[in-house]
Structure 1
Amino acid sequence: MRNSIRFRLWSAAAISIVIALAIAGVGLRYLFELNVERRVVSELTVDLNELIGATSFAADGRLSVASTLSDQRFANPLSGHYWQVEDLATHSLVRSRSLWDAALALPEQAANGELRKEELKGPGGELTVAVLRTITDADGRAFRAVVAEDHRNVEVSVGEYVRDLAPALIVLAFALMGAFFIQITVGLAPLEGLRVAVRDVIAQRTARLDVAAPSEVQPLADEINRLLEAQGKALSRARSRATDLAHGLKTPLQVLSADIRALRKKGETELADEIEKSTGAIRRHVERELARSRLAPGVSGKAACRVREVAAGVIAVVKRTPWGKQLSFVIDAAEEIVAPVDEGDLSEILGNLLENAARFAKSAIRVSASRSSDEVVIAVADDGPGIPEAGLHAALSRGVQLDSKGGGSGLGLAIVSDIVEAYGGRLKMTNANSGLTVSIYLPRHG
């Protein structure tokens, strides 16, 4: 999973979305808090102007406030909304009822008329947002007025905003992750198509990549097709050379066979036997290479033939052999069963299997075929002695003969195995109550 491009892209997108939205959440919280404080300062400024308008000096020089502010929260003790006026000459204070018997600790005196925003300690030590201004009248008397509000009111508003914002950001995060997932899936779809095309080539359904890829992926598909073409040509040349070599050796082998017969007539049987043994080994290799060279480069999965027809043709030939004349043959295969293999290759397979079976069968040979959703099974069964369990694996080795009858090269099953493997199939041998059953399993394509 960690090596998946899809997983990597989606993980990177998810992490990026979470980080981006977290930063956005922090930024939005800060901006909202700034906006709330600005609104609070604006409201406090209105209250401050109202307070300044109600403040004056009496005839005896004392500071007085003509009326309380219209906001009733200033009249409630410790309500979080406070105002205070200080006579800068006598430092006497006039306070809102909400301050009770406490006072706001003010900073250094500001310049006349300057509006200042401050953060002051409230009567309970809490932080407050305050605005203050120093006023000097025509007689040179000065006072400082301040209006403050508990900062917790700002924090409450920000907290409620964050509680409302968090679910929205979470929903947005999931929506963006889903959108990125769809985008990644759509973006990687051409690679999935390329993977399917490569799988078809490996399964030998096609000889080249047949895929309409985007401009970014098409060069890769073209390069793979060129590689497949070059590989096919190289394999074709190699098989042609192997076939030429095998055919080239057949003539010298025939000459050696004639020489062996001549030596036997002269009585030099020992030398003839040595030469015959060596030529036999060469002949077995030649026959094997000829059989293997018949498999064309890039066996196509589109090859198909009817099992019953091919089996009937091969049986007709085997019946003419010395062993086949004495046997009965049964074909248990429906007419519609089609094997995903070239007709010539299936003839080679059945020819070797039936020839081996005929040499050991007592009276009958049975060829059967069946199919499932994913493979076709062809079996050749005889009623002979079978093969010892220890020799089942050795029977597939090249040149191994497990019988004493002679007349064979010991390559039949090995050649069958090569052809079956070329089509992606498998071969299985089992001993029945009487005789041997050789089954081949060929995968169905499409």
Structure 2
Amino acid sequence: MPLKIKPKKRLLTRIFLTSLSIIALVGFGLAWMVNTLHVQNSYNEETAQLIAEIPQVAAELREHDLIPDTSAWLEENNKQERYVMASCDANFKQVWTSSLAVDRGLFDICERFDEIRGGVPPYYLNTADKRSYFAYLLSVDIASIHYNLLVLKDAEKIERETSKFAKRTYIRLALVLTLALLLLISAAYWGMQPLARMRTELQAIIKGKDKALSGGYPVELEGVTQALNQLLRQSSAQQQRYQNAMNDLAHSLKTRLAAVHAITDDPTLERQAICEKIMDQVSQMDLLVKYQLKRAMLGRKGLKQIKTPVNPIVEQLSQMLFKVYQDKQVQFTAMLADNLTFPGDEGDLMELCGNLMENAFRLCISQVRISAKLDKDGFELIVEDDGPGVEDSLKQKIIERGVRADTQSPGQGIGLAVCSEIVSSYGGTLSIEDSPLEGARFRIQIPLN
């Protein structure tokens, strides 16, 4: 099977071919026009010269007694030159032929000229003597007599001059095209420099050296670079969402897995009870996975039209945390109305309560308290403990990803950052205060409008 090599499509090649085709077309068109104008100008100059030589023409006419010898100027212009010419009537019938034309057997000059006189000068004739002539029509009045004269000039000499002029024209055209090609190549590579620069910057972005295209591009490329930078930002944000979602999922599953271990290690539970509690944790893990995947795909946006009961979520989480931290014998207090609802998604509420309660159970000495209310001002959730609290210098920093107040216990510093993101999506605030229990108080406030 023969190997087929398909050439790469190059933008520069297209520009070169298109531009050179246009330049060549215009150049050859101008050259053709110049040559045509030169021929017509030469024809007009020759016609003017013949008009200036009318006395010599008249001398030949007088020699054949075709005009009366009444003009004094004929005495001063009586130099006789032999011309290939003929006199034609109004219908271009040949009525007289010069002696030189007779010698050459040209008796149908007027009839041949009549066939081509409707065209554009110069008039080119092939005659019976196998020669080529340029025909010049002179309509003159000599001694009050109108003469319709046709004078023929040998075309060979004129054609040589015309050919020489045309050759010089095309040589000049070739020089112009060569210069145009050099300028075109320079302009093309100069014009392509921004694209080469864009390719270099994109390669740097792919390698992770840069995050966006720089500025300073030509106006024609500004829209492209802005769109690419926006696409890069969206891609980076999407990637960051996926990374955050996976980190958040791992953080959320960690507590559930700890609860599963605590359940399996609890000697007071029967096998049936262990299976039920483990399945309950597995169901919660499944909900968390779906929630985090949805969040990674669509991003974070609070939906206040959804209402989620608070008590069932808090009850599930507290039972799980009691298993995880059963050695601490935590005194947990929930100050919640029976019909209290959270103005948002169930997954968001589980993340908020789960992270704040898990921190409180982990850092407390013996007491954890949660309270919430919903009124005209909005929804408020408070989780507090009697642990070491949070230093004032860290209260704003610990809501950032990776920042932890307690560096002694294991953790990734993700929980509070997740809470802050969720609260911000609802237009609310997360504040860290000192609790009357002498630990930390985390207050979440979400407006209803």
Q: For this structure pair, what is the TM-score category when the shorter chain's length is used for normalisation?
A: 0.3 to 0.5
Using the size of structure 1 for normalisation, the TM-score is 0.46
Using the size of structure 2 for normalisation, the TM-score is 0.46
